[in-house]
Each structure stands twice: as structure tokens, then as C-alpha cells.
Amino acid sequence: MSETAAAGPDAAETKAPAAEVGTWESIKILVGASRGFWLVNVVNFGDGIAYFGILTLLTLFLGKERLGMSDHAAAISVSAFTGLVTLFMFGGGFVSDKLGVRRALTFCLTVCLCGRVLLSSSPRFGAAGHLAAWAGLLVLAFGEGVIQPALYAGVKEYTDARTSTMGYGILYAIMNLGIVAENFISPFVRTSTPFVGGIRGLGLGFDGVFWMCTGITVLMLSTHLGLFTKAVEARDRLAASPAANAEDKSWKEKIRELPFLDPRFMFFIFILLPVRTLFAHQFLTMPDYVFRAYAPEVSAKFEWISGLNPLIIVVFVPLIAGLTRKVNIITMMIIGTTISAVTTFILAPGPNLTRLILYTLLFSLGEAVWSSRFLEYVADLAPEGKVGAYMGLAGIPWFLAKFTTGLYSGWMLERFVPKSGPLDTGRLWLIYAFIACISPVGLVLARPWLLKHKEVRNATALAASQSAA
């Protein structure tokens, strides 16, 4: 029996050829025919709140506000945590491929829950609080490293050719919607400051926010176990199961399917490294730049400016994905990375609040154009049953961007934007803009070659079928 037939009538309807359907029709198909897709995004939304709710306050929680670490130790701890999340994604993709999306999400939510409980309770360990916090962060990093490729693989499993573009756009937007929700909820839980309408916050401090994130993880896991059943998985899945893909393959075939041996995949993810450094600069360079180059009334509202990014992503990623789903993926990648890179030149003339806001808006728009299409192209490159592995390894450039950018960003700040002394912010951003432009130029030059991946895959599949016959 085919996968389509086994999945039931709803999945069979969704599996129809990629007919010309509009944006709203694509959304209707996702809503009506794939409960699995939306259950994946329930986890996606909740994890966006829980992960960023902790990450936003982590240096303060580890530092003098709660556990008493030095600024340097707290910064190193947070840097190591974020790096480990990306590092574990490399192997996390293989976990989701082996277990399947449903079981992989059960596994990583359980791991994340253990990590958040240990981290949130670390102040109660007294002198051993630092060790408890580090242990919690290590466990949490592993869980988050598995959950990301599992979510990406979930879109691949529960969408088809008509809905995949919109599916990846919605996935990326919902993650950012979780960040927006976290930005709204966290101050209310943490402080007792009066809000709109005179309503006062709960005043539970950092511990309150961390335990809230732990509670959200419990809610996610309970919802996942209760609603994402084997029956839903069997009915809605549109891709072959991991076990089915593993059958009748020689060790040579398995080696040939390793992502590291796919030249298009390796080129595609690494050519994006230059433009990804700009994303690292958003938390490595931008805060110090704003606090040192702008008036206190601007730096006091820095979070409001940076908060424009997830708001734009939430609105424009699904909108752009829907309007441009017929446009070639590589074309959209070129347009989006060009916007992200060229926009940085806006900061070259020097500090100006209008230009800073314009830069934030346009940079975010560029991210909205290419971010979800990146996921779509990687999933399209991946052989059946290897989506998780490809998605996990696709995080290599982000891993390298965070670490390599951190090696020189501090020196560049001291050289061009020192805490005291003359500032040369224009040259700083000019250098970073030229570095970022390497990505769109490389994509333009390699575009014809990158577009041939389907031809190569179809030819390989035809040769394999003829050989088997």
C-alpha cells in the first residue's frame, strides 16, 4: 500500500499534484487536511516563548542578579549555551530522522523539561548553584538541538508541493510570534510595574519567568502527548516513514546520502555565512553601538527598536511566502540576502535615529524574504528520510557565524566604537556591509548550478530504478 493510501482520504487529497492554487487556498489545505502540521507548530510556538524567555534574561539570572557569577563567567556561559544548541543540531537531525517527527518531539520536550527544571531550581542548590545551572543548560542545549531539525522535518512530512512554501513561512513566523509573546509576558511576570489600565505586574522576578517557561514546557508536552497520536501521524504524514526509507539500502547508498557529500548543499549553506554574520552582530555589536553612539533616551528604548524585528517577521514571512511561492527559491534567496546586506550601508553615514529605525525595518524585511525559503531549499535537497539530518547540518553556518563573529566583534568595537574616545561607526558598518555582500554575489554566480539539483536527483532516481529492474 502506498503512503498516500495509508494516510487516509484527507492526506490523499493533499497529495494531489501541485495544481495552481492561491495563497488562501494553500492555507485552507493546511488547516483542513493536516492536523499534524499545526500540532508541530503548537510545539514551535510554545518553544519560542520558553526558549527566548530564558535566553533574554539568562546573563542577568546567572550574574549578580541571582546566581552571582561574574559578568565574564555569565557571558561565557550564555555563549557556550547558544553554541551548544547549534552544535547539537548537527546530530539532532539524525535523531529526528531515526525516531520520526512525533517521537522526536516527545523525546526533546522531555529533555528540555528536565533542563529547565534544573536551571530554574539552581538558586536553591546554594554553593552548588553554578554547577546546577551549567548542568541544566547542557541538558537544555541538547533538547533544543534536537527540537529544531525535528520541527523543520515536520513541515516536510506534513505539507506537499502546494503547501510547503507557505508551511515553512508559517513555521518561521510562528517561532517569531512566540518571541513577541515572550516580550509581552516576561515583564508582567518579572516586575510589579503598573501596565496599561493600571494593572500591576506579578513581581515574581527572574525565578518567576524561568518557572513560567518550565510550566509552558509542561503544557506543550501534555498537549503533544494528548493530541499528536499515532493515528494523526499515520493519517497526515505525506513523507515515507524513517523505517521505510532505511530498508533495502546498501552501506554505499547510505554513505552517498550523507549531507557532507552533497556539493550543492555544502556550497549553499556556507555561501550564506557572510550575510549571517549580520545576524550575529544584532546581539554582539548592535547593543554596544546603540548605547555608545546614541543619546541616553534612545538607548533606554533599545529593546523597542530591536523588537521591531520579530514583529515584522510574524507579519511578512507568511505574506511574502504566499505571494512569492511560485517564484524560484534561489531567486528569492538572492533578493532577500541582497536586501539584508545592502541595507547595512544605511548605517555607514553615522549615528542617526531615523536611519537606525529604517535599517532595522529593511534588514528585517530582507530576513522575511529569504529565511523561510532557505529552509525550503534545504528540505528540497534532502533525500527521503534525511530531512532532519540536512536541517541539522544546515545550522553549521549559524554556528560558525556566532563563534567567528564573536572572535573579532569585540576588537572592532574597541577600535571603531570605544566606550570613551572618538567614534568611527561609519567605517565599522561599511566593513560589515561589504562582508555580507559576498553572499548574494556568490548566489548569483552559482545560480544556474544550484537550480539543477532537481534534474540531478531525478536522473539519479531513474538510474536507480532501471538498475533495480
Specify the DSSP class assigned to residue 421.
Answer: S
Residue 24 pLDDT > 50, yes or no?
Answer: yes
In CATH terms, are 20-248 and 249-460 the same topology? yes
Residue 10 pLDDT > 60, yes or no?
Answer: no
Distance of alpha carbon 293 from alpha carbon 276, whole angstroms: 24
pLDDT computed for residue 139 by the predictor: 96
In CATH, what class is 20-248? mainly alpha
Confirm if 363 and 310 have CB atoms less than 8 A apart. no
User: What angle (nearest 5°) sits at the alpha carbon of residue 281, between those of residues 277 and 282?
Assistant: 120
Residue 28 pLDDT > 60, yes or no?
Answer: yes
> In whole numbers, what is the pLDDT of the chain averaged over residues?
79
Nearest of 91, 138, 85, 139 to residue 112 by alpha carbon: 139
pLDDT computed for residue 433 by the predictor: 96
- Going by pLDDT thresholds of 50, 70 and 90, the confidence category of residue 285 is confident
Q: Residue 227 to residues 42, 98, 106, 256, 382: CA-CA distances in angstroms?
A: 11, 22, 12, 37, 28
Q: Diameter of the chain by CA atoms?
A: 75
Kindly report the pTM of this predicted structure.
0.66
pLDDT computed for residue 136 by the predictor: 95
Residue 154 pLDDT > 50, yes or no?
Answer: yes
Give the residue-averaged pLDDT of 98-115: 92
In CATH, what class is 249-460? mainly alpha
What is the phi/psi pair of residue 397, to 5°? -60, -35
Residue 339 pLDDT > 50, yes or no?
Answer: yes
468 or 403, which is more confident: 403
pLDDT computed for residue 429 by the predictor: 96
Confirm if 105 and 150 have CB atoms less than 8 A apart. yes
| Segments making up each domain of the chain, as ranges | 20-248, 249-460
Q: Look at 16-20, 165-169, 186-190, 437-441 and tell me which has the smallest mean pLDDT.
A: 16-20
Give the residue-averaged pLDDT of 70-87: 76
pLDDT computed for residue 18 by the predictor: 45
